[in-house]
């Protein structure tokens, strides 16, 4: 019997608490007489390596079509995604809709030992025969025994925590160590800033400093702050979001916020828009905790609250949802590309209010003596970003 969840304070605390627990992202697939299905889950764990065959556990919502298919097919494959496969996670979770209507048609895969699909590029795929199924609350718990295990060259898993994607930072073993360079700079970038500036920045810097290596970290604001405090990176380029007092801050570019709208929106021809114009409209949020906090602060300063309809950690997904008329979004600066990934156009209208949280800044540990090459790197950042 499916037990209905009770809306209590304890349940709310449990859901919020579990959202803070980091977990690997797994796409569970199955194929057989009940058809081919796949679903993204964050609940996958080992049961025992010392039974007749190694066993693991997955948990799937009872309303997912994959749930009954796994039971009837008697097999499943737990594909642990790599850090570059967030798109597959969105695809099999339903956040992204496949153009063809078939998720597997847009995924590289092959049939495993049991016949369940093995996703190419997953860091590891556990191809299992179903041994036990149990219904608990709103979820079906499946225990399977591994018939075969496949590993790829990818080693860094996709991680989900605080309702957003993160990437694990591998610690290289001696046989995996990068080639020796005379000096190495360790720099972190906010994930949406990196694609805009890093390629040209690295290309120019490397041509001037060929013996200096660059180790990059692309992640969200909170992780950048933590990595900087721990001394794992020497500088971080981010937005002026939640600024801790123990770090020094230099502004690289003042915010120039724009409201993103579909081309046929009633406000698309506006010369400028204010928070009051947006308060009652559905919003598509770039889903990082620091961004959510900044957007809430912007609206609260003017006596409003954003009406968030959709949220995604992918800026490409945000643009696509806006382009299809599902809400507006706020970009901290005028985007260089006003087209969604599927080619639909957007318009960008200046936001009339100031949005200091969207300033681009460089974060450093106070008192840190920077190498001359890091000074040179930051000098190029200033020229490129200003």
303 CB neighbour count, 10 Å cutoff: 9
Token pair, residue 305, equals 């609250």
The Cα angle at residue 164 between residues 228 and 243, in degrees rounded to 5: 35
d(CA 129, CA 113): 10
Q: Can you give the length of the chain in residues?
A: 386
Cα–Cα distance, 192 to 326 (Å, whole number): 21
What pLDDT, on the 0 to 100 scale, is given for residue 287?
Answer: 84
Task: State the pLDDT at residue 380.
Answer: 85
Do residues 174 and 180 touch, judged by C-beta distance below 8 A? no
Q: What is the pLDDT of residue 123?
A: 92
| Helices 194-208 and 372-385: angle between axes, nearest 10 degrees | 130
pLDDT given at position 177:
47
* Contact criterion met (CB below 8 Å) for 313 and 161: no
Report whether 289 contacts 164 (CB < 8 A): yes
Contact partners, residue 277, CB within 8 Å, separation at least 6 = 267, 270
Which helix (H) or strand (E) is 369 found in, with range?
none
Report the sign of the C-alpha dihedral through residues 160, 162, 165, 168, in that order.
negative
- Could you tell me the CA-to-CA distances from 162 to 54, 257, 297, 326 in Å, in that order? 31, 25, 19, 24
Return per-residue pLDDT of the chain as tens, 386 residues: 455 556 688 888 888 898 888 889 999 999 999 999 999 999 999 999 998 899 999 999 999 999 999 999 999 999 999 887 888 999 999 988 887 889 999 899 999 999 999 999 999 999 999 999 999 999 999 999 999 999 988 778 888 887 777 766 554 444 554 444 567 888 888 888 888 888 888 888 888 888 888 888 888 888 888 888 888 888 889 988 877 788 888 888 899 999 999 999 999 999 999 999 999 999 999 888 788 889 999 999 999 999 999 988 888 899 999 999 999 999 998 888 888 888 899 999 999 999 999 999 989 988 777 778 888 888 888 888 77
> Rounded to the nearest 10 degrees, how much is the dihedral formed by the CA atoms of 35, 39, 45, 49?
30
Rounded Cα distance between 32 and 75, Å, is: 8
Whether residue 64 contacts residue 71, with contact meaning beta carbons closer than 8 Å, is answered with no
Which pair of tokens denotes residue 146? 């591994």
Q: What domains are defined for the chain?
A: 21-164 (2.30.110.10), 183-254+360-385 (3.40.190.10), 258-356 (3.40.190.10)
Taking phi first (over 0 means left), then psi (-120 to 50 degrees means alpha), and beta for anything else, what does residue 291 get?
alpha
Assess contact for 353 and 330: CB atoms under 8 A: no
Contact 260, 340 (CB under 8 A): no
Separation of first and last alpha carbons in the chain = 60
Q: What CA–CA distance (Å, rounded) separates 274 from 299?
A: 10
286: closest CA among 327, 329, 231, 243?
329
DSSP state of 179: P
Owner of token pair 């290596």: 213
State the pLDDT at residue 171: 46
pLDDT score recorded for residue 370: 74
Q: Report yes or no: 247 and 368 within 8 Å, Cβ to Cβ.
A: no
Predicted confidence at residue 198, as pLDDT, reads: 83
**pTM of the predicted structure, to 2 decimals:** 0.57
The C-alpha atoms of residue 58 and residue 77 are separated, in whole angstroms, by 10
């Amino acid at each position: 019997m499916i037990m209905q969840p009770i809306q209590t304070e304890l349940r709310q605390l449990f859901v919020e608490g579990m959202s803070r627990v980091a977990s690997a992202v797994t796409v569970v697939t199955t194929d057989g007489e009940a058809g081919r299905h796949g679903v993204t889950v964050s609940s996958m764990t080992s049961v025992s390596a010392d039974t007749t065959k190694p066993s693991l556990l997955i948990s799937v919502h009872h309303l997912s079509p994959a749930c009954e298919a796994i039971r009837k097919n008697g097999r499943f494959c737990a594909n642990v995604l790599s850090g570059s496969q967030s798109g597959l996670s969105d695809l099999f979770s339903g956040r992204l809709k496949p153009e063809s209507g078939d998720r597997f048609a847009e995924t590289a895969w092959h049939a495993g030992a049991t016949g369940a699909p093995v996703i190419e590029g997953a860091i590891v795929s556990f191809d299992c025969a179903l041994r036990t199924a149990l219904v608990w609350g709103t979820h079906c718990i499946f225990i399977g025994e591994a018939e075969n295990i496949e590993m790829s060259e990818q080693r860094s898993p996709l991680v989900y925590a605080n309702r957003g994607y993160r990437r694990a930072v591998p610690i290289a073993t001696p046989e995996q160590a990068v080639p020796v360079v005379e000096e190495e700079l360790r720099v972190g970038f906010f994930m949406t800033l990196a694609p805009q500036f890093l390629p040209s920045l690295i290309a120019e810097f490397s041509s001037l400093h060929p013996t200096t290596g660059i180790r990059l970290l692309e992640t969200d604001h909170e992780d950048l702050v933590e990595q900087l405090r721990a001394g794992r990176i020497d500088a971080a380029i981010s937005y002026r979001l939640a600024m801790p007092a123990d770090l020094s801050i230099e502004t690289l570019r003042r915010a120039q916020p724009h409201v993103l709208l579909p081309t046929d929106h009633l406000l698309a021809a506006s010369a400028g828009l204010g928070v009051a114009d947006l308060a009652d409209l559905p919003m598509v949020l770039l889903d990082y905790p620091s961004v959510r906090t900044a957007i809430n602060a912007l609206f609260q300063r003017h006596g409003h609250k954003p009406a968030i309809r959709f949220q995604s950690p992918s800026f490409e997904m945000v643009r696509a949802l806006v382009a299809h008329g599902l809400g507006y979004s706020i970009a901290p600066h005028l985007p260089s590309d006003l087209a969604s990934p599927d080619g639909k156009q957007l318009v960008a209208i200046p936001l009339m209010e100031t949005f200091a949280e969207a300033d681009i800044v460089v974060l450093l540990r106070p008192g840190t003596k920077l190498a001359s090459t890091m000074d040179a790197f930051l000098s190029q950042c200033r020229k490129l970003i200003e």
